[in-house]
Amino acid sequence: MAVAVVTDTTAYLPAETLRRYAITAIPLYVVFPDRTVRETEITDYDAFFEELRAGDGLPKTSQPSIGDFVGAYGPLLAQGHEVVSIHISGGISGTVETGRQAAEQLERDGKGGERIRLVDSATAAGGLGFVAVAAAHCAAQGGTLDEVVDVANRARAELKMWFAIDTLEFLKRGGRIGAASAWIGSTLKIKPILTVERELAPVERVRTSSRMFERMVDYAQQRHDSGADEWVVQHCAAPDQAQRLVERCREVFGREPLFVSEIGPVLSTHTGPGLLGVGSIPTHFFE
């Protein structure tokens, strides 16, 4: 039986990458006062951010339902697959726990739930994307269920991903400021650099956009120097900066990125526009 890999949309993997590695991505939700929509249904990001700025509060975000997971797992199990399901950190979302509940339901119903393994990536966005793609590569090479899970866990242990955001305003408004709350103090006029280590964790703060950009390049250089050369760039409503970062990172790593993508509504609700992210993982996960 082949192993199928499932993740969720907060990895923000490009459609081409999902197809290439046969990964299924389950959507999370954005909950507005008057409607609830899958984040994949929001395509006009300018209008989305305008609505965020105009509102008194931010919309809520929500994990997929048990039914969403059952709907994704069911056809894969019916085709005879085993499933490794890798999701956004349990420290910031209930997604992985809902997936476990869906697997238990399928097992109780005699529909193969015992062939599903859930993996808490303890990260998000590009970090989650790395873990999912590394696992899918292992599966495509004929890896067993245990081997694919092991690769997912080892990939998580060896990746680094950083995100610079334009302002702490959205994290503060949404109550997701976490350990970065110590930075609120005197001003919001800093450029925070963050990572996800189960929960949102502060890395450093700089004063200008140009310094923030150069620090992201510095991080890329550190990863190259440590031998981790499979890299990605992500952004949120900052395509020009992202393209500049891609060009600089291409020089640093000497190779093309694994993927470049835009952060979607579920995470950008909490970060706001202007996010720029870079990260990498050792190339041996794809050899």
Q: How much is the pLDDT for 165?
A: 87
* CATH code for the domain of 19: 3.40.50.10440
Average pLDDT on 66-95 reads 97
Q: How much is the pLDDT for 54?
A: 79
- Let me know: does 45 contact 163? Beta carbons within 8 Å: no
Q: In what order do the strands lie in the sheet with 259-262?
A: 199-206, 191-197, 160-164, 275-281, 230-236, 259-262
Average pLDDT on 213-218 reads 96
* CATH code for the domain of 278: 3.30.1180.10
The verdict on pTM exceeding 0.85 is yes
**Per-residue pLDDT tens for 155-214?**
999 999 999 988 777 676 655 555 455 454 445 567 888 888 887 777 888 888 899 999
Return the percentage of the chain with pLDDT > 90, whole number: 74
On whether both 23 and 111 belong to a single domain, the answer is yes
Final residue of a domain: which of 112, 130, 157? Answer: 157
On whether both 100 and 205 belong to a single domain, the answer is no
Number of domains within the chain: 2
Return the percentage of the chain with pLDDT > 70, whole number: 92
On whether both 19 and 124 belong to a single domain, the answer is yes
Q: How much is the pLDDT for 190?
A: 75
On whether both 103 and 224 belong to a single domain, the answer is no
E strand or H helix at 85: strand 82-87
On whether both 96 and 203 belong to a single domain, the answer is no
Q: Has residue 19 been placed in a domain?
A: yes
On whether both 123 and 7 belong to a single domain, the answer is yes
Pairwise pLDDT comparison (56 vs 150), residue with the higher score: 150
Q: How much is the pLDDT for 58?
A: 77
On whether both 204 and 228 belong to a single domain, the answer is yes
**Per-residue pLDDT tens for 41-50?**
999 998 998 8
Crossing angle (nearest 10°) for helices 145-158 and 125-140: 150
Average pLDDT on 22-27 reads 98
Query: What contacts 233, CB < 8 A, 6 or more positions away?
Result: 126, 242, 245, 246, 249, 257, 260, 276, 277, 278
Judge whether residue 123 has pLDDT over 50.
Answer: yes
| DSSP-assigned beta bridge partners for residue 84 | 5, 117
Q: How much is the pLDDT for 174?
A: 55
On whether both 97 and 180 belong to a single domain, the answer is no
Q: How much is the pLDDT for 188?
A: 55
Kindly report the average pLDDT of the chain as a whole number.
91
Q: How much is the pLDDT for 265?
A: 95
E strands, 155-286, in order: 160-164, 191-197, 199-206, 230-236, 259-262, 275-281
Residue 231 sits in which domain range?
A: 160-286
On whether both 12 and 88 belong to a single domain, the answer is yes
- Nearest-angstrom CA–CA distance, 50 and 48: 5
Query: How does 165-182 read in b/e, with b if 16+ C-beta sit within 10 Å?
Result: bbbbebbbbbebbeebee
Q: How much is the pLDDT for 181?
A: 55
On whether both 143 and 10 belong to a single domain, the answer is yes
Final residue of a domain: which of 125, 157, 189? Answer: 157
Lowest-pLDDT range of 13-27, 84-98, 119-133, 156-170? 156-170
Q: Has residue 54 been placed in a domain?
A: no
Q: How much is the pLDDT for 179?
A: 47
Judge whether residue 251 has pLDDT over 80.
Answer: yes
Average pLDDT on 101-115 reads 98
List, as one string, the DSSP characters of 140-166. HTT--HHHHHHHHHHHHHH-EEEEE-S
Query: What contacts 216, CB < 8 A, 6 or more positions away?
Result: 162, 164, 193, 245, 276, 277, 278
* Burial class (CB within 10 angstroms; exposed 0-12, middle 13-18, buried 19+) of 191: buried
